[in-house]
Structure 1
Amino acid sequence: MSNEFYYQFIKPDPSLDSFVENIGMFHNPSDTAKEVVVMPDGRVDLFFMRFGPDDPFNIFLIGLETAPEQRAILPGTIAFVVSFRPIAVEYILKTSIADLLNTARILPDDFWNVTTDDLKDLETFNQRISQIVTELLPETIDERKRKLFDLIYSSNGEMSVKELSEQTGWSSRQINRYFNQQFGLSLKAYSTILRFRASLAHIAEGKLFPELNFTDQTHFIKEIKKFSGVPPKELSKNKNDRFILLSILKQK
């Protein structure tokens, strides 16, 4: 078995796709810390993390992020993660994350009754989480919210609040109130994050000029640097594989 840092992410069952984007894990079996840069990606992450073979798993929920953050994944760390689409916050997690912008909430050790037996490997974890989320699927969903998120994702965050309001039959004021109360930021701010994330796929292909609706090259560079900490050219080099999100895109 390799002694290097590794990660793996898989897509959930299609029946869960409206709420769960992917399920994954990472492990640092080496004796040195892995330096990474976490970038905003518009997802809400539920982590089950252990820092050593004899340590218990800690469970925490990470809210939306609006800026890059450098982190060190310590030797021996293993983590399993569920990456949710924001609509899952209300319908699956049944909470608000407005107070978790750029931060996290520690959850009880018995959250969802996930045990160490469920955390043996990614396939076991995936099966357990899929079972839990399936049981939590709501009977009904506010169709305005479902349509809103479908449009935001399908347009890579490029539709204006006005357009989204018109197509969902939900006023701009109500939409922004929902976003601020539920997620801690405006719809426009969230859409900007999704546009950045969509641009990462282009940068992963070596395209260092805007493919999406940026004003010009200067605007593009400024936006990429805002969310990654570096300009597009440096980001594309991904020195030491530290931009994990970009690395995953390059693998696809």
Structure 2
Amino acid sequence: MILDPKYIVISPKQPYFVMATSRYYKAVVMNYGISHFYCFQRDGTTENPIVAVPDGCFDILFFCDEKEPCAYVCGTVLHPKSTLNTKNKCFFGVRFLPGSSFKFKNVTMSDLVEQEIPFLEIIEDKDLFEQITSSKDFNYQIQIFMDKYLKFYNYSEATSKHKDLRKFIMRNIMETAGQIRVKELADVTGYSVRYINKMFSEQFGLSPKVFCKLMRFQYLLNNLNDCKKEIFHTNLTELAMELGYYDQSHMIKDFYEFTNTTPGKYIHSLQETEYKKRLIII
């Protein structure tokens, strides 16, 4: 049995970020609404393009460049999208957990979907911007960000009228790897389908149906990343059934929609680029 609620942790993956650089550093948090911090440099050692895939998250991404520093708040994409393909740039990023929701100035969560909005237009903290973009010390950048962020996070949690409902719904979605219908969410919470749809869209910028589809894809991605090529084809049908796809063809079609490739070709790319050697978890 692949699915077991005790072991399902959907850690959002952007595998093409890793494949497009010789070293991709990652510091896992999985708390305070943050999945992990990451940093990498586009130094010209690889020609692989950076492609963002749907993950139901938003990132804050800093370009640590002495001459032209900049930063963006980037919402989830809904289809694969080429991005960040500038050489000789150092990046520091924060990837938030799927379903993290915050109140930004003049910007809703739906405004972020498939968008990259300048950091200082949303978070007017020039001091934080300058301290992070002027450094290339990963641990220092993390510390600086967390010192400022925790105050914002605690305030956001304290003032959220939907905090408990949001967490309950998110836990149900994660425990089923996205295999839950809106009607089921309504039944377990005692709210109407209409209310769940409305609240979810306001809080996360996506409908629960779309979000669940993205979580199922991300869970599939997590499984493929840990899959050995030799047993890939043996497990593919079982994996499709466990994830609630109609059949293997349905799963491949969904995967292609979100990556522009097939699971088999994706596994080959992981092997060819030596994905696990490029990913350095600290």
Residue in structure 2 matched with residue 64 of structure 1 by the alignment: 76
Residue in structure 2 matched with residue 135 of structure 1 by the alignment: 151
Q: Is structure 2 residue 210 aligned with structure 1 residue 189?
A: yes
2: CA distance, partners of 1:228 / 1:139: 37
Alignment partner of 2:108 out of 77, 93, 96: 96
1: CA distance, partners of 2:35 / 2:207: 21
Q: Deviations over 1:46-69 (max 9, x none)?
A: 11114xx43232111111211011
Whether the aligned pair in 1 keeps the contact of 2:27 and 2:36 (CA below 8 Å) is: yes
Residue in structure 2 matched with residue 151 of structure 1 by the alignment: 172
2: CA distance, partners of 1:188 / 1:236: 27
AA of the residue aligned to 1:133: Y
Look up the SS of the partner of 2:92 in the other structure.
strand
AA of the residue aligned to 2:222: A
Whether the aligned pair in 1 keeps the contact of 2:53 and 2:80 (CA below 8 Å) is: yes
Distance 1:18 1:149, change over 3 A: farther
Residue in structure 2 matched with residue 44 of structure 1 by the alignment: 58
Alignment partner of 2:269 out of 210, 223, 238: 238
Of 212-221 and 21-30, more deviation after overlay is shown by 21-30
2: CA distance, partners of 1:72 / 1:147: 35
1:154 deviates by: 2.5
1:70 deviates by: 2.7
Percentage identity across paired residues of the two chains: 22
Residue in structure 2 matched with residue 20 of structure 1 by the alignment: 34
Runs ≥4 residues deviating over 4 A: 31-34
1: CA distance, partners of 2:149 / 2:176: 26
Q: Deviations over 1:17-53 (max 9, x none)?
A: 1411111112122376541222111111111114xx4
- Gap regions ≥5 residues in structure 1: none
Distance 1:111 1:121, change over 3 A: farther
Task: Give me the TM-score of the superposition, normalised by structure 1.
Answer: 0.82
Q: Deviations over 1:50-95 (max 9, x none)?
A: 4xx432321111112110113352221111111113543325x465
Residue in structure 2 matched with residue 202 of structure 1 by the alignment: 223
2: CA distance, partners of 1:176 / 1:10: 34
2: CA distance, partners of 1:87 / 1:194: 10
Whether the aligned pair in 1 keeps the contact of 2:62 and 2:70 (CA below 8 Å) is: yes
Residue in structure 1 matched with residue 27 of structure 2 by the alignment: 10
Q: Is structure 2 residue 159 aligned with structure 1 residue 114?
A: no
2: CA distance, partners of 1:187 / 1:229: 23
Distance 1:169 1:25, change over 3 A: farther
1: CA distance, partners of 2:75 / 2:129: 23
AA of the residue aligned to 2:118: I
Alignment partner of 2:90 out of 61, 73, 78: 78
Task: Give me the TM-score of the superposition, normalised by structure 2.
Answer: 0.74
- Gap regions ≥5 residues in structure 2: 1-20
1: CA distance, partners of 2:99 / 2:254: 25
1: CA distance, partners of 2:178 / 2:184: 11
Whether the aligned pair in 1 keeps the contact of 2:100 and 2:204 (CA below 8 Å) is: no
AA of the residue aligned to 2:158: E
Whether the aligned pair in 2 keeps the contact of 1:40 and 1:193 (CA below 8 Å) is: yes
1: CA distance, partners of 2:259 / 2:118: 26
1:173 deviates by: 1.2
AA of the residue aligned to 1:8: Y
